[in-house]
Amino acid sequence: MIRTSAGDAPSDIRLGLRLLPFVDRLPVPRRLVAAENAGRLVVRMRAAQHRFHRDMPESTIWGYDGTLPGPTIEAERGHPVTVEWQNELIGPL
């Protein structure tokens, strides 16, 4: 079984579905540059929609800044960075 936001579903093998691999471009994470924000970053954890494959429906995910993968944090050695993590998740997935 596969657990989805809509409930349990049989795996694709049991359904006889075949997904063509490598058809979707890999997501490029958004950049959070500490130097542009005086070393202070805010990352929000929240629900969002994500499509894992072009032939699949969107799924609800819990992501950092609502993205999957979350943002890439860029920092420079020797420069302190403060990250404020804000939990905006509400209820079950």
* CATH number of the domain enclosing 68: 2.60.40.420
Residue 73's alpha-carbon distances to 34, 70, 87, in angstroms, are 7, 9, 18
Q: 66 to each of 23, 28, 59, how far by Cα in Å?
A: 23, 14, 12
Provide the domain count of the chain.
Answer: 1
> Which domain, by its residues, includes 62?
25-93
Give pTM, 2 decimals: 0.69
Region of 91 (left: φ > 0; alpha: ψ -120 to 50; beta: rest) is: left
Residue 78 counted as domain residue: yes
What is the percentage of the chain residues whose pLDDT exceeds 70?
81
7 occurs within a structural domain: no
What pLDDT, on a 0 to 100 scale, did the predictor assign at position 18?
83
pLDDT tens by residue, 50-91: 999 999 999 999 999 989 999 999 999 999 999 999 999 987
